[in-house]
Amino acid sequence: MNKYVKRYLIDAMSGMAQGLFASLLIGTIIRTFGLQLLKIADIAPFQFLVDAGNFAMNPNVVGCAMAIGIGFAMKVDALVLFSLAAVGSAANVTGGAGGPLAVLFIAIIAAELGQLVSKKTKVDIIVTPLVTILSGVLLTVLFAKHLGNAANSIGSIVIWATKLHPFIMGMIVSAVVGIALTLPISSAAICAALGLVGLAGGAAVAGCCTQMVGFAVMSYKENKVQGLLSQGLGTSMLQMPNIIKNPLIWIPPVAASLITGPIATCIFKLEMNGAPISCGMGTCGLVGPIGVVTGWFEPSEKAIEVGLNAISPTLFDWTGLILVCIVLPAIICWGLGNAFRKLGWIKDGDLTL
């Protein structure tokens, strides 16, 4: 793999996703939990949860976390890493709804420029932060708003198209985002950058959950409970070495995502209105389903921006969530996996981690 592709596309995006998870996503979960508890009793501990969530969700904090995550993944020097906090904050706030994409591009460039001068002078403690911050903020002034608008526009088109053609777009979004989750790139970062919510977000959740649950169930014969948990609650990316050896093992999860996507969009009208990053997390720590539930009660800013509101979930909604995220992927992939084994397309050991 090209070192630049790995550094900028894989490592940087993964770092950004971790930064988002450690700020916006966890903050949203904490805040939503606190708000629901406040409905039961208006007491200080529950308000504390809301306040803690608000701090973590602050756009400046989220921008800092993303940029530092990017720098950490790129293994930049300490002064460059710490200086990226200001760069990320500026880029995320200026980029608006498409802030994550602005942070990704600008933090990468600022980090590399900072690295060029890092430890090269006797006044490194001044020069390195100076170059990193000034270059990052200059890039923010010049490009952040445009990058943010571009990402927001693309995301809005996907959301609009999925609402207009839920069957076809449900298949496409589910399959594409699910594939991205298993590839060594960050589906979470992609969903965050595009701001996927609504039916498009629901399709993305369906695709990601299908990949993770599907591989976990398909490979149970080889990997037992440990593999079930590491893939079902961890990541299907663990199967990439096996996919390279035998690409046929990827067909059942991809085929299943082409089924669960339209079921999510057309039958259950499953909308993911929480933090967009949740769309690309699948069942990793159950973040995808939790994001759906969070969005039901406390829609994200992006969801509100496109006209989506909080709902009171019914038994039908809960049933749809469980079926789309867990039950259907498990059944479909188990059935297809067994069929492929009988055909000799998947052999014993092909899915061993």
Task: Write out the two tokens for 22.
Answer: 């450690």
In Å, how far are 72, 162, 207, 265 from 262, measured between CA atoms? 38, 10, 10, 5
- pLDDT < 50 positions in the chain: none
Beta carbons of 252 and 332 less than 8 angstroms apart: yes
pLDDT score at 1:
62
Task: State the pTM of this model.
Answer: 0.81
CA distance 117 to 122: 11
- Bridge partners for 198 per DSSP: 272
pLDDT score at 93:
93
User: What is the per-residue pLDDT across 299-326, written as a single tens digit (0 to 9) for each?
Assistant: 988 888 888 888 999 999 999 999 999 9
Within the chain, residue ranges assigned H as helices are: 3-4, 12-20, 26-40, 44-57, 59-73, 78-95, 99-117, 124-139, 145-164, 166-182, 187-194, 198-218, 220-232, 240-245, 251-262, 287-297, 301-305, 315-322, 328-343
